[in-house]
Structures are given as structure tokens and as C-alpha cells.
Structure 1
Amino acid sequence: MQKKKFVTAFRGTLIYAVIGGLWILFSDKAVEALFDDSTMINLMQTYKGWFYVLVTAVLLFILLRRAVEDTEKLLTLDPVTQLPRHYQFTRLLDKQLSNLPGNKVLILIYLDINRFSQLNQEFGHQAGDRVLQKITSQLWEYFHDNSLMGRLGSDQFGLAVTIDNDRDIIDNLPELVFRQLHKASETLQIPFKLSMGVAIAPTDGSQSKSLLSAASVALHNAKIHGEEQYSFFSRELSEIAQLRQNLINELKKSELFQHFHIVYQPQLSISTRKVVGVEVLLRWIHPELDFIPPDQFIPVAEDIGLMPDITRWVITNAKKELSDSELIPSWVDRVSINISAKELNIEEQVKNLHDIFQEYHSFAKICQLEITETTAIYDISTSQKFIKSLKKLGLRFSIDDFGTGFTSLSNLKNLPVDELKVDRSFIDKIETEHNSQIIVKSIVDLAKNFGINSVAEGVENENQLNFLKQCGCKEAQGYYFAKPMGVDDLEKYLKGKLG
């Protein structure tokens, strides 16, 4: 907005300068009107061109100087919050660090507003600006002494506070920040939540670059554990961050898909012991790092936007393998494929799924997409709309790892899903923990009351299976029946089981 106003003013002033100069340059009457003395008139008529150049140069100098000042302001100050931007914040932070007294520490808190883009969509960008301004005023009002604050990104802030080197004060500081932000949220009546990463100078870094990097690593760790969480930087987190970066580098390599493999785990009816479907599982066998578990690389692939390509690869290759071996439709009635719930909140990624299954329309009719529950479904109305559009192609939907994530009963009521899968962590403990038995029975009853299917994961013995049968669970999968296997072994298993 400021830039637009400046450009308009610049153009207007320049136009007036040109018009005025041309009037003086070409109008003798203008010269005679401005000056009475004949000597001055002759002088002006002789040198009026140079006079115009001089006037224009002065005007341009004034305008350019103003442009430089406005540009510097735009580069250093955020127009919404009037806080220093990232570049200016790092300069000021370095100055504070260089003047840090020996008996003090500087606490850098890296704040991130969770789901800020969705807040903007739901309440409007003006409401989003009010949130940014309220966070700024609330924190600055409380921490203005010996503190520095900056806006580091569209939804991120930096807060640097110099305090005594007292562990109790340091440990309580993030909670104090949360309390101030809760007040801001209550005042605005716009719900927002934040995650925070905390780094301490000089222990975690003595310069702005290293300290911001440490706080960023801590922030990422906090976000892994959910909303309204904070994390202090540690050397262990630094090692984890390095491993994550190595994983990102490997995922970005062009030969990635050459090292992917698909395995299949049969799913059986508990009452009849007959195979009712298979779950498609992705395996990454790295030539140097060997087997990399999906729970390590899938979250990273989600973060760097690689999941649409991976999902397409899995669907395409599963369809090809099962078709080439003639297991579908003769031997397999249902094929379950895992996708991230995030893919149901981004229109482009839903279109990607829609295009794939429109191409494989017959395969879509036996496919079931499993939404990993540990990835929160943020925008329930959007997910509901996209699930309904995909179900028109014949697809079914299941919520995987149910009971471990964020799907509330209200979300479940509004999502047109066909199945709940009981997470293996509950099945592991049903023989020894009464609470796990209660949870498993509750999930099975919930599925029954909603009129949808229930499947137990990770069944490893007859006792677990008998308990599930007593609960009324419909289906199960696990090592008790069969381990995940390649398509050739699956063909032998199915033909041996059903033949």
C-alpha cells in the first residue's frame, strides 16, 4: 500500500514538473508574466532551457531521495506490525549479542502461528492483520525492557529477551509468553495458537545466524509434537535436524523412485478367516542406508511437497503389479492405499488423485484410501467436500491408526468414511492392560454405531484375535495371518488360501 501511494505521488509530481517546465520553455508570455524587468526577461528567454533542466534536476533529486528513504523503510520495517523485518532484526540482534553482559543471557524465542493461512481464509485478511498487530502489542507491552522483537515471516516472529542467568526464570519464560498470547486471543475473540522454539545465547550461539538456526530447529521439534508446544534447543535436536536434512537431500535425488518397492499385507474377515483385501505398503530400500522406515521419510516428504508424486507412483505401480499378476479383480476385492490427510486439504493434490482414478476408473471401484489420523485434518469442511467428490469415482475411505491422532467425534460424524482401523499400539497391550481393552472395544462400538467397518492392525496371536471377535471387530491384519510380501508371494498366498 505504501509503495503504491509513493509511485502515484512520484508520477503526479513528475507530470506537473514536465508540464510546468514546458510552459516556461515554450511560452514567452509566461516569462513576461513572471518577470517585469526587461533585462531579466531577455536573460530568461536566453537561458530558459538550462533553467528548466536545473528545476527538473532539483525535483528529481528530492523525489529520488524520498524514494530511497521509503524503500529503506519498506525493507527494514514490516508495514502491518511496524516491527523490524528479518534482515534488520538480525542486525539489531547481533548488536544486542555483542553487548550482552557476562552475568546475563539472551533468550531468543522463534514463534510460529499455527495454520495462519487458514485463519486468513476463515476470518479474512484484515482479521489476520489484527492478530499480527495484537501479538505485537501484547508481547511488546510486557517485554519492552531489554528486548527486541521482529517479524521474521508471514506467520513468524522473533522475540529476544535479555534476562538474568537463572534456570527457573529461563524455563518459565515460554509459559509466560503463552499466557500473554492467550490474553491476546481472548481480547480479539479470534482463536489462534502458536508453537515456539527457544535458543539461549551464548550457549546455543553467539551470533544471530547461529542463534536463529538453533531456535528454528527447536521450533520444528515443537511443531512435531502438536500445537501450543515449545521446545528448547539441544545438541540432540541439532543432530536430528542434520539427519532430516540428509533425508531431504536423498528424497530430492532423481533416482529416488528406483529404490521404492511395494509390499502387500492381507486383511482377513475375523469370522470366516477369508481374505477380504490387501493393504499396499511402501518400502524404501536405500542402496547405502538400507531400509528407511516410512514413519521417518513420509513426514519429511509431506513437508517438502513430494507426497503427490509418491502417491501417484504407489497407485500406478500397485495397479500395474496386481493387474499383471491377474490378482484383480479375480482374487482381490479391495485394495487399501495410504494417503496423508493433508492431501485432502489442498485442491491441487485432490485434483491429482481425481485425475489418477479417472484414468484407472475400474481400479478406483476396488480402492480404499486410508487417511493417516496422526496428521490432523485441519479444514473439515474442505476435506468433507473433497472426499465426497472422490467417492463419486467409487473410492472408499478409511481412517488409519484411529485413536492416536486428532480426529474428534464431531469430525468423524461429518466425514463420509467407510472404516475405522484400530491402531496396533492398542492391540499390542490388550492382553495386559485393561485400559487398552476398553479403548479397543470403544472404537469397535463406535464404528458399529456409525454403521461402518472396523479393522484391527498388528494382530500377532490367537488371544488378541479372540478378544477382537468378542468385541465384534469385523476384520484384522497382522503377522498372525501374514507378513507384508511382494506381489509374487501374495499370489502364492492367495491361491493357497483361496484355492
Structure 2
Amino acid sequence: MSINQARRSKIDLDGREASPFAIAISSAERAVLQMVRDALEHKRMRLAFQPAVYAADPDIIGFYEGYIRLLDEKQMTIPARDFMSVAETRELGREIDVAALRLGLMTLRRNPGVRIAVNMSARSVGYKPWTQLLRRVLGEYPGIGKGLILEINEASAMQMPDVLIPFMDELQGFGITFTLDDFGDSFTSLGLLYEFGFDIAKLDGRFIRNCHKDPENQPIVRAAIAMAQEFGMFLVAEAVETNDEANWLREQGVGCLQGYLFGKPELAPDFSKYLRARQPATAQG
């Protein structure tokens, strides 16, 4: 064995010693997980609400989507992208789902008549604290389900259809609406799509940027729109940032538009805007 081979062997194959890089990553992950645990324990989780407006009349809000946020010890807001990738595959991911659902239901109780979308994953269906919370609130507050929208990522939904399909069928009886999030992002079985019976399809945001002039994305968006319409799903486009994108999506038949063009996620939005836009115009004279 050459000197160089001996060095590589010691460096690459000695599993008893972790590299400084691996140690740093492990340490960073532990810090993130502890931060999440502390936030859950001390109830420092919040929802930031972003409006989705009707394409035909952007002054009317169709619903708000609640994005989970974490507050650190100094009450600084930390977005989900900074902790979900570490937490979502662990038990903490399920606890975050419970916190998001609790906050969404609390918002609906405090603001009757508003519609709130909360993200969930297929794993939530088999997690007793999540399902027990949902069923308890549905029993205690009849009619609250009509304001709740549950968003499920397409990839997550396809992992356990045998559990999710009957769950959705039951909960739709309480008025709950189900959204297939990131629609078009991955291959979907048409047979399963029909069986699920999703009410809303949300077009994946990565296809929306410059959709009005991107010849590669336009056929994808049109195909996704046609498929959603064929299955009777109301269409929402996310990540809309320009008027040109909004106008093109409106022409294609998208029902709701969501993105920074119409409002950023806010911890304390004015929910009265939702209700005021729906009030019939007062007769003049």
C-alpha cells in the first residue's frame, strides 16, 4: 500500500472519528431541534396569514393561508424554512402540525366567517393528538369546519392514499375543504386523483414565475389547469408576484391568486377585510 493510499484509508474509512464538518452539522441540527422543543413547550408558535384573492376581483379575499412561524426567546420571528427541514421527519414534525392546527382553529373561533387554510401532512392522520384535537373542536363548535381548509402536499398525499381517502371523505361531511398543494410538482396517478376528491388544486409556485412569457412552463401550467378542471377542482396559483403573471393566469381560468403581489404573510392581519368585501352593496338614495 502506498503512503497516499494509507492516508486515504485512514481518512475515508475510519468510522470511529467524525469529521469536523459532520460534527458541526450535527451540532447545528441539535440546536435547531432544541429551539423547536422550547418553542412548543412555551407556546411560541404563531401562524402568519397570507391572503389568496379571487382572480376575477382581487379586492375579494377567498381565504387566508396560515404559515407556521416560531418565536425565539427574544420574540424574533423564525420562518418554517429555518427549522422544518430538520424537524419534519421527527416526532417534532407531528407536534408542529398539531400546533398549526390548534392555531388555525383558534383563529376561526375568534373570527367567525373567515376561511383559513392550514398545512398538514398525511402523517397527521395517524397521529392521535392531531386527530383528537380536530374531532374535539368539530364537536364543540358545530359549523367551524366550513371555515377550515386543510392543505396536503401532493407527494405526501400519495404516500398513504388508503388512509387519507376515507379520512377526507369523512371530514368533508363536516364542511372541511381539502387542497392538493404543489399540484403538478410530481407524477400523480389519475385514478388516485379521482378517488381522493380534492376540492382545490394549488399550482406549484415554481411554474408560476414568468408564466406569461415562459414557453417551457406555459404548457405545464395549461395541462395542470386542464386536469384540475376535469376533476372539478377549484384552481389556486401561488407565488404570484407580478401583474403580468396574474393577468395570464386569470385568462387561463385560475380562480384564486396568492403571492406577494396581493399581500405578504402577516402575524396579525385585518380579517375584517375578508368580511367587508362580501357584504352586499348598500342601496343608494
TM-score class, shorter-chain normalisation, is 0.7 to 0.9
2:112 aligns with: 328
Q: Distance in 2 between matches of 1:202 and 1:259?
A: 46
Q: Distance in 1 between matches of 2:255 and 2:204?
A: 15
Give the TM-score normalised by structure 1: 0.49
Question: Greater relative contact order: 1 or 2 (C-alpha under 8 angstroms, separation 6 or more)?
Answer: 2
Q: Distance in 2 between matches of 1:105 and 1:422?
A: 53
Task: Report the 3-state secondary structure (helix = DSSP H, G, I; strand = E; otherwise coil) of the residue aligned with 1:203.
Answer: helix
1:471 aligns with: 252
1:275 aligns with: 61
Task: Report the 3-state secondary structure (helix = DSSP H, G, I; strand = E; otherwise coil) of the residue aligned with 2:83.
Answer: helix
Change (3 A) 1:297 1:411: farther
The CA deviation at 1:253 is 2.3
CA contact (8 A) 2:98 2:130 kept: no
Q: Distance in 2 between matches of 1:104 and 1:262?
A: 54
The one of 446, 459, 465 aligned to 2:227: 446
Letter in 1 for 2:224: I
Query: Is 1:377 paired with 2:158?
Result: yes
The CA deviation at 1:385 is 2.2
Query: Is 1:286 paired with 2:67?
Result: no
Give the length in aligned residue pairs.
277
Query: Is 1:248 paired with 2:28?
Result: no
1:210 aligns with: 17
Q: Distance in 2 between matches of 1:316 and 1:309?
A: 11
Q: Distance in 2 between matches of 1:101 and 1:360?
A: 75
Give the TM-score normalised by structure 2: 0.82
Equivalence map 1:14-163=2 (5 Å): none
Task: Report the 3-state secondary structure (helix = DSSP H, G, I; strand = E; otherwise coil) of the residue aligned with 1:378.
Answer: coil
Task: Report the 3-state secondary structure (helix = DSSP H, G, I; strand = E; otherwise coil) of the residue aligned with 1:284.
Answer: strand
Alpha-carbon RMSD across the aligned residues, in angstroms, is 3.1
Equivalence map 1:186-205=2 (5 Å): 201-204=9-12
Equivalence map 1:336-355=2 (5 Å): 336-344=117-125, 346=126, 348=128, 351-352=131-132, 353-355=134-136
1:316 aligns with: 102
Q: Distance in 2 between matches of 1:267 and 1:259?
A: 26
The CA deviation at 1:389 is 2.6
The CA deviation at 1:340 is 1.4
2:84 aligns with: 298
Q: Distance in 2 between matches of 1:360 and 1:407?
A: 35
Q: Distance in 1 between matches of 2:147 and 2:76?
A: 33
The one of 359, 364, 373 aligned to 2:145: 364
Q: Distance in 1 between matches of 2:177 and 2:260?
A: 25
Q: Distance in 2 between matches of 1:343 and 1:439?
A: 30
Query: Is 1:455 paired with 2:236?
Result: yes
Q: Distance in 2 between matches of 1:432 and 1:407?
A: 26
Change (3 A) 1:292 1:384: same
Task: Report the 3-state secondary structure (helix = DSSP H, G, I; strand = E; otherwise coil) of the residue aligned with 1:484.
Answer: coil
Task: Report the 3-state secondary structure (helix = DSSP H, G, I; strand = E; otherwise coil) of the residue aligned with 2:149.
Answer: strand
Q: Distance in 2 between matches of 1:205 and 1:289?
A: 45
CA contact (8 A) 2:109 2:144 kept: no
Q: Deviations over 1:116-170 (max 9, x none)?
A: xxxxxxxxxxxxxxxxxxxxxxxxxxxxxxxxxxxxxxxxxxxxxxxxx7xxxxx
Task: Report the 3-state secondary structure (helix = DSSP H, G, I; strand = E; otherwise coil) of the residue aligned with 1:252.
Answer: helix
Change (3 A) 1:269 1:289: closer
CA contact (8 A) 1:354 1:390 kept: no
1:138 aligns with: none
The one of 262, 268, 275 aligned to 2:47: 262
The CA deviation at 1:103 is 6.3
2:283 aligns with: none
Q: Distance in 1 between matches of 2:138 and 2:214?
A: 42
Q: Distance in 1 between matches of 2:98 and 2:142?
A: 14
Q: Distance in 2 between matches of 1:358 and 1:436?
A: 44
Q: Distance in 2 between matches of 1:347 and 1:315?
A: 13
> Which aligned runs of 4 or more in structure 1 are off by greater than 4 angstroms?
100-106, 254-257, 495-499
Equivalence map 1:365-444=2 (5 Å): 365-375=146-156, 377-405=158-186, 407-444=188-225
Q: Deviations over 1:276-327 (max 9, x none)?
A: 2211222113236944321332343332212443333333333334433xx3
Change (3 A) 1:298 1:340: farther
CA contact (8 A) 2:39 2:71 kept: no
Q: Identify the range of structure 1 (286-295 vs 243-252) with the bigger mean alpha-carbon deviation.
A: 286-295
Letter in 1 for 2:98: R
Q: Distance in 2 between matches of 1:498 and 1:402?
A: 28
The CA deviation at 1:401 is 1.6
Letter in 1 for 2:36: L
CA contact (8 A) 1:375 1:406 kept: no
The CA deviation at 1:474 is 1.1
Task: Report the 3-state secondary structure (helix = DSSP H, G, I; strand = E; otherwise coil) of the residue aligned with 1:393.
Answer: coil
Gaps of at least 5 residues in structure 2 are 280-285
The CA deviation at 1:465 is 1.1
The CA deviation at 1:371 is 0.3
